Copies of this chain bind each other. A is one copy, B any other.
Amino acid sequence: MGIVQKYGGSSVATMEKIKAVAACVAARRKEGQDMVVVASAMGKTTNALIALAKETGGADNARELDALMATGEQTTVSLLAMALEGMGVPAVSLTGGQCGFLTNDNHSRAKIVDIKDDVLKAHIAQGKVVVVAGFQGIDARGDITTLGRGGSDTTAVALAAKLGWDCEIYTDVESIFTVDPRKCPGAKRLHRITYDEMMEMASLGAGVLETRCVEIAKKYGVRLYLGKSLETDKRKGTYIMENNETFESMPITGISLKENCAMLTITGAPGDGRCVDDVFALVAELDVNVDMISQQILSDGGIALSFSCSLEDAALLERNCAERTLPYTLNVQQPLGKISLVGVGMITHSGIASRAFSVLYQNNIRYYQITTSEISISITVDAESLEKAADLLARAFDLCQGD
């Protein structure tokens, strides 16, 4: 049993930070732990490479862009391996391809097809710390691919799954909080959260871990830990794992917030569904990312359909609809913010929704669209009310310090 650790770009942004990470890894290794370390590109390297690529005039070539991007992580891992060796810890760096990450050829957002782990396991068997370039792999042709957003987290979790090890993700935030502490200063540190809650939090805008990597962790039962780089006190970070009894007392685990939303509502459409078809054909054509969708059949048999998207996408849709003759009315409500209450406990605790609405109502906060899932309730409010609403709900659901 060993540990896969992942260090993000800000944790390895300078040579000093790389050496500090190496010292942490070395200390852990000396406790006898087998270790694989996944690293991202140093600091702003990826952005700098993208800027260079744009200067070429050919940056839309995804294959070449991936080959370029991959150098960022390759640089970090060889430096980190050297730093470990310099501290007397046997180490070896591997690119994604060398580590056996086979992906499809969907450049810039490739999916992992398989991990051929014979090279990796041979190095581990030799007692080496294996330092793996995150975010990258190769396709069946041997072309370099990258995994897209959150790619290095995915690399780490996939390796942990393959090896049957635990996975520790180190980043520049201390832990997962009940609410984003920049929005709600009283937010509490979460010491534990379930995979499902984390996925709801991630996809609903908490922005710490990508849904995709939590999904893999859940599928393969990888115990995830998220903490601040160089912080060795495990009580300060968050464990992400399967649901268990200890959670039952808390109906809501956290609240995630999303800004810059718009709600589009269609009224006056006949109830035969053709209009919904039309609208979503247009949405697909314009590549608009739709978030919440809700629909009711009105008493006159007509349809009331609402969906939310970003402000930019709403503007794009409005421009396109203005040029067409529509058999319905499109209203845009903006700017809005979305609040999502997340918790596996919600399933067994009734009355969460009504309590939430009551809190908002009693504080004169207007709310618009509402959608629900098994473990979440999402509500849009006016953008200016977002933080106040979050704070009120956090206090109501026992998510603040000292409550």
Interface residues of A (CB under 8 A from B): 15, 18-19, 22, 49, 52-53, 55-61, 63-65, 67-68, 70-71, 74-75, 77-79, 81-87, 91-93, 95, 98, 119, 141-144
B82 pairs with A18, CB closer than 8 A: no
B79, B84, B95: the one within 8 Å of A52 (CB): B79
Among A65, A93, A119, the most chain B Cβ lie within 10 Å of the Cβ of A93
A182 to chain B, nearest CB (A): 33
The answer on a CB contact under 8 Å between B68 and A79 is yes
Expressed in whole angstroms, the Cα–Cα distance for A141 and B22 within the complex equals 25
**Are A57 and B86 closer than 8 Å at their CB atoms?**
yes
Q: Are A82 and B61 in contact (CB under 8 A)?
A: yes
Q: Which residue of B is nearest A18, CB measured? A: B56
Give the shortest distance, in Å, between A9 (CB) and chain B (any CB): 16
* Complex interface: chain B residues within 8 A of A49 (CB): 75
Q: How many copies does the complex hold?
A: 2
Which residues on B sit within 8 Å (CB–CB) of A65? 78, 82
Report the Cα distance A93→B95, complex, angstroms.
17
5 pairs from A and B in contact (CB 8 Å cutoff):
A19-B56, A52-B75, A53-B78, A58-B82, A58-B83
CB distance from A46 to the nearest CB of B (A): 13
Q: Chain B: which residue is nearest A83 at the CB level?
A: B56
Q: A52-B15, A71-B75 are in contact. Are A82 and B59 (CB under 8 A)?
A: yes
Please report whether the interface of chain A is mostly helix, strand, loop or mixed according to DSSP. helix
CB distance A87 to B15 under 8 Å?
A: no
Give the distance in Å from the alpha carbon of A52 to the alpha carbon of B75 in the complex: 10
List, in ascending order, chain B residues with CB within 8 A of A77's CB: 67
Residue ID in chain B nearest A138 by CB atoms: B98
**A144 CB, min distance to chain B CBs, angstroms:** 8
* With A15-B55, A79-B52 as contacts: A85 and B71 at CB distance below 8 Å: no
Q: What residue in chain B is nearest A131 (Cβ atoms)?
A: B64
* Smallest Cβ-Cβ distance to A19: which chain B residue: B56
- For the complex, give the distance between the alpha carbons of A338 and B56 in Å: 46
Chain B contacts for A61, CB-based, 8 A: 81-82, 85
Contact B53 A79 (CB under 8 A): yes
A368 to B61, CA, bound (A): 61
Partner of A82 from the list B57, B81, B119 (CB cut-off 8 Å) is: B57
A92 and B63 contacting across the interface, CB-CB below 8 Å: yes
CA distance A87 to B87 in the complex (A): 48
8 Å CB contact of A64 from B53, B57, B85, B142: B85
Cα A59 to Cα B58 in complex, Å, equals 35
Residue among A22, A55, A64, A84 with most chain B CB within 10 A: A64
Q: Tell me, in angstroms, the Cα distance from A87 to B56 when the chains sit together.
A: 9
Question: Given the interface contacts A64-B81, A64-B93, A67-B74, does A86 sit within 8 Å of B15 by beta carbon?
Answer: no
* Residues in B neighbouring A18, C-beta threshold 8 A: 56
Known: A61-B82, A68-B74. 9 other contacts (CB 8 A): A15-B56, A22-B56, A53-B79, A56-B79, A58-B84, A59-B86, A65-B78, A65-B82, A67-B93
CA gap between A56 and B57 in the complex, in Å: 36
Shortest CB-to-CB span from A133 to chain B, Å, is: 9
